[in-house]
A and B are shown apart, each in its own frame.
Chain A
Amino acid sequence: MTDAVDLAGQLFANRVFAAAGCAGTGRELPPQADLAGLGAVITRSITPEARAGLAAPRLAETPSGLVNALGLPGPGVEGFLADELPWLVEHGAAVIVSIAAESAADYARLAQRLRQVTGIVAVEVNLSNPVTDSGRLPVAMDAGLAGGVVHAVRRNTAAGIPVLAKLAGDTTDVVAVARACAGAGADGVSLINAVRGMGIDVATGQPSLGAWLGGLSGPAIKPIALRAVWEVHAALPELPIIASGGVRTGTDAAEMMMAGASAVSIGTALLTDPAAGARIREELAVIAAQREGGYAGLLGCAHREVTA
């Protein structure tokens, strides 16, 4: 049984990816993290210009979760291409570049820039920011806006490079957004981004985060992610899904696959244990081996058993 998986025409060595923002630039991870052993490393979201990020505190611990408001700190696309991408490629990582911008035109320019370099296996479109036309609303909350951004990226990305749309789990109708993205050329979807949330520090009587509001990740949101994966797979069974949201064991990964995901990405689990990738991959392999049909037998099986 092979761990390899074909996602939208791109072959990945296994089904456990590092989620955007959680493997850093790769350099900071201890050697045990084994970047090359992950199916792919999805980079932190790369922006057109360097960003300092938001004021502290940027992260707070909640029961079985973390709320964060980082503000997409990073070196900007040119800094990324000069310093981070070459290192990741050199160390054997299959690199999916996450991109974020504040207008569809800037997303298009980012895609064009990435098109000029080698070493990228796919592009993930982070839709959790607002764009110029959306007011305060994250793009992923609106099917029309999301489709527009994905169209701009797809049109400027090489044909052999899959474009993945990262969607929100707390939108009213995730299926409508996924459908719009697929219609606009997305080759797959990543489900789900952090769920909007916040914390309050009782000692100060103030929000825990410097930016007040943030996104909740970790095991606390796994049921929300499972539901999103389930709904999108039921409506669009041919659309590849990379599931994220609270995956920290092989069992969690298997649940995501049974709901309809082809692969999983781990985020908060890497913050707790940078070596989690290999462990989850091995645990998932054991579960798949016990299943008739292996990984294929897991994929979407919860739907088949319900409808049978």
Chain B
Amino acid sequence: MSQAGQWTATVMARRDTGDYAVVTLSAGTDTSAARAGQFASVRVAGPDSALLLRRAMWIGEATSSGRDGGTIEVVADRGEPGGAWLAAQPQSARVDVIGPLGRPFSLPRDPTHCLLIGFGAATAALVKLSEELVARGCRVRFLLLGQAAAFGVLAARRFSSEIVDSSGRSIDPREAVLDQLDDSVEVVYSAGLAEQLRPLGQIVTEMGVAHQTAVETPLVCGSRTCTLCALPVRGRDGVTRMVRACTEGPVFRADLVRWDDLGTVPGDCLGAGEEAR
């Protein structure tokens, strides 16, 4: 992955939708390279803030030809102090941003029937993905789960008429997914917190459907060295390593993620057993 830049963005606009705010930032740089599944790392609450970690925010739409050198939309969770800070910034406020970061979704070569499963803020990554898929002639069906994300529903309608919005409701995500995973679905794309994605990971793999998953890490460091977001993932060589969602991810092949071992360092992981006492 190429090295992402750090830049001072300007707040251009904000839309509040329920628990989230969609904030448009002028990049002052070319953001046309931003791809679905990538995120921006936003410094919150100013230089004297007691909040020391940056916030990872999914990139929704990105334009390359704005008056100020292109814009990106990011999704801020207003229920979290850092997201609330960004959502409260007035127009023209300056914000320290690093990005676009991370490995994006891979797109199918041919027109494909895709099921996109998004949780809360991560729906933004899938909306951007759906735009790229539809442009390639793919059929896109949405399943929205987790915290209600009205911005996602509105945006998704531009690219698909097949939207099942189960967000904001207490339902078993496995059942919701099985309901949608009929024989016509060729590829699944999902995005959300690791704990939200865990129930999906296994059942989609068991059904033999290709599945790419974008793992959300709300808090990140600026140097991508804190390993806050490390999770066990099997490599193509069969060896499990603790890898960083912010750098090696956030998009992974779901069949390679050790879903049952999230929150642990599996005993067969490279370097396991040498941890500090």
Contact = CB atoms under 8 A, between A and B. Distances in A.
Interface string B34-45: 000000000100
Contacts of A63: 50
Given A73-B271, A210-B263, A270 B277 contact: no
B238 interface: no
Contact of B51 (A24, A33, A61, A136): A61
Nearest to B247: A28
A53 interface: yes
Nearest to A24: B225
B177 interface: no
Contacts of A65: 52
A83 interface: no
Interface stretch (B86-94, B121-129, B215-223): B215-223
B223 A28 contact: yes
A49 B271 contact: yes
A37 interface: no
A218 B48 CA distance: 12
A201 to B, nearest CB: 13
Contacts of A130: 277
B247 A73 contact: no
A129 interface: yes
B17 to A, nearest CB: 24
Interface stretch (A162-170, A179-187, A271-279, A285-293): A271-279
Contacts of B221: 59, 271-272
Given A31-B3, A53-B265, A66-B52, A272 B275 contact: no
A50 B4 CA distance: 27
- Chain B's interface size range is 35 or more
Contacts of B264: 55-56
B5 A30 contact: yes
Given A32-B5, A51-B275, A53-B242, A271 B226 contact: yes
Interface in A243-302: 248-249, 268, 270-275
A32 B43 CA distance: 15
Given A65-B52, A73-B271, A272-B53, A22 B223 contact: yes
Contacts of B270: 50, 52
B230 interface: yes
Interface in A5-54: 21-25, 27-33, 44, 47, 49-54
A211 B263 CA distance: 11
B225 A52 contact: no
A244 to B, nearest CB: 15
Contacts of B247: 28
A30 B271 CA distance: 28
Contacts of A275: 6
Q: Which of A25, A66, A71 has the most CB of B within 10 A?
A: A71
B13 interface: no
Contacts of A129: 276-277
B147 to A, nearest CB: 15
B54 interface: yes
B50 A64 contact: yes
Interface in B244-277: 247, 262-265, 269-272, 274-277
A59 B6 CA distance: 23
Nearest to B263: A56
B231 interface: yes
B274 A51 contact: yes
A272 B52 contact: yes
Given A49-B271, A271-B52, A271-B53, A136 B228 contact: no
B267 to A, nearest CB: 10
B226 A52 contact: no
A53 B269 CA distance: 10
Contacts of A64: 50, 52
Contacts of B219: 59, 61
B82 to A, nearest CB: 9
A121 B54 CA distance: 32
A57 interface: yes
A261 to B, nearest CB: 22
Given A52-B272, A58-B227, A274 B52 contact: no
Contacts of B52: 61, 64-66, 218-219, 268, 271-272
Interface of A: 21-25, 27-33, 44, 47, 49-59, 61, 63-66, 68-73, 76, 129-130, 136, 210-211, 218-219, 248-249, 268, 270-275
14 contacts: A21-B225, A27-B3, A47-B274, A49-B274, A52-B272, A52-B274, A55-B263, A55-B265, A56-B231, A65-B52, A73-B230, A248-B47, A271-B222, A273-B96
Nearest 9 interchain pairs by C-beta: A24-B225, A28-B224, A271-B221, A52-B271, A50-B271, A71-B275, A59-B228, A51-B274, A30-B6
Given A55-B263, A66-B53, 13 more contacts: A22-B225, A24-B225, A29-B224, A44-B225, A50-B274, A51-B271, A51-B276, A58-B227, A61-B52, A72-B276, A136-B277, A268-B52, A272-B222
